Amino acid sequence: MGYNARRAALSIIELFLERLAPYGLKPVDFSVMSTIHHNPGVTSRQLCAALNLLPPNLVGLIQSLEARGLIERKPHPHDGRAVGLHPTDQGIALMQQAEQTASDLEVEKTSRLTAAQRKTLLDLLQKIYL
């Protein structure tokens, strides 16, 4: 099961890398940007917990996304230690396109599955790790 899930993931990621390259987003960048996009003000720690990343490995990603003007770091309203991460207008525009591209490639890569099977597959996978 672990083997098959890994092979399926790598198969999708292979096409993902190709299709999302024009946006300058690798899978981890995409998942970070997507989480910030749909949860403005999220902190680094929350991102790490949600995406199963380690804090030291997130630092460079955040710095890179900020340098590209895709996100902004704002002081957290209630915690002076934390920093809220917000998408810029440019980041929002990029993610709207990137998420459509990702959705399209996912359907293409799972073209041997029906829509119902795609939903079943997602549900079963999440029952394993959530």
Binding part of the chain for DNA, among 30-38, 56-64, 94-102, 114-122 by CB under 7 A, reads 56-64
Using the minimum distance from each CB to a copy of itself, give the nearer residue, 1 or 67. Answer: 1
Residue 106 contacts which entry, DNA, a copy of itself, none (Cβ below 5-8 A, type-dependent): a copy of itself
Residues within the interface to a copy of itself (CB under 8 A): 1-13, 16, 27, 31, 52, 106, 109-110, 112-113, 117-118, 120-122, 124-129
- Hey, which residues between 91 and 130 contact DNA (CB under 7 A)? none
- Hey, which residues between 29 and 48 contact DNA (CB under 7 A)? 43-46
Binding of DNA at residue 57 (CB under 7 A)? yes
Per-residue buried b or exposed e for 36-65, using 16+ beta carbons within 10 Å of the residue's own CB: bbeeeebbbeebbeeeebeeeebeebbeeb
Q: Which residues of the chain form contacts with DNA (CB under 7 A)?
A: 26, 28, 43-46, 54-59, 62-63, 73, 76, 79-83
